Structure 1
Amino acid sequence: MLRRRLFTPPSNGRCSVSRSSILKRVHDRKFNGRCFCGLDVTLLQPGTAMNPGRWFVRCPKWKTSDCSYFVWVDKTEGQWEGLRRPVSKRKMHEDVLEAEAEVKMLKKLGKIEAQVSKLRL
């Protein structure tokens, strides 16, 4: 799972909350950017085949506390307007990092190809 702390959401709106299990029951809850523990939620993106690229928020202490706060971000569409821009910015940032890594790799490849052609002469 790729863990990314990205955004503390605004303190208004409604959303659907789902328990952390394979079959999730959805409950309507008031969303205020904090989990049931009162902590700021963490925005994450799973690295699983079951939910590729699907963003969610949960309690930052989910492993050590009894807080079961979990929300799929797409369940809040239209209700959590402030999230769309940060997610888009994060995606753009990841795309830039990926492109920079590709350029760096291509430069290295060009140097290696130049060395190989010198050795052939």
Structure 2
Amino acid sequence: MNVFDLSPAQIRNRLILRARRAALAAGTGRLPPARPPNRAGAAAVARVSVVLCVSVAPGDVVQFAESDYRYADGPLRLRIVRVRPDLSEWYDGEWVWLEGVEIGPDDQDGAFRPVLARVAALRAEG
């Protein structure tokens, strides 16, 4: 994967995450903001780091209903290749980025695709 495979939002998120990790490693005690400051003058909300806890691992096959993953176009069976905790941190533990291979109705491997899935829907077939 190279920088041309990422959307501008993904690149921004990666840069913010790197800056936050560098600030933690440097021990400055001050983190860069997760969001731009609120212009209305309201109190800023502090972002709490979320520890990702999912019950699936690479190699597992999961079945998603259309409502269980973003940008859905019907049910999906996916063989997980990788769970992306680095990008999933931004979804408050409710959604997780997965990378995997679609499995067709004939149990043949299909296209590789990233999926933003609801954590509550993750149950490995078995």
How high is the TM-score relative to the length of structure 1?
0.31
Higher relative contact order (CA 8 A, sep 6+): 1
Larger fraction in strand: 2
Larger fraction in helix: 1
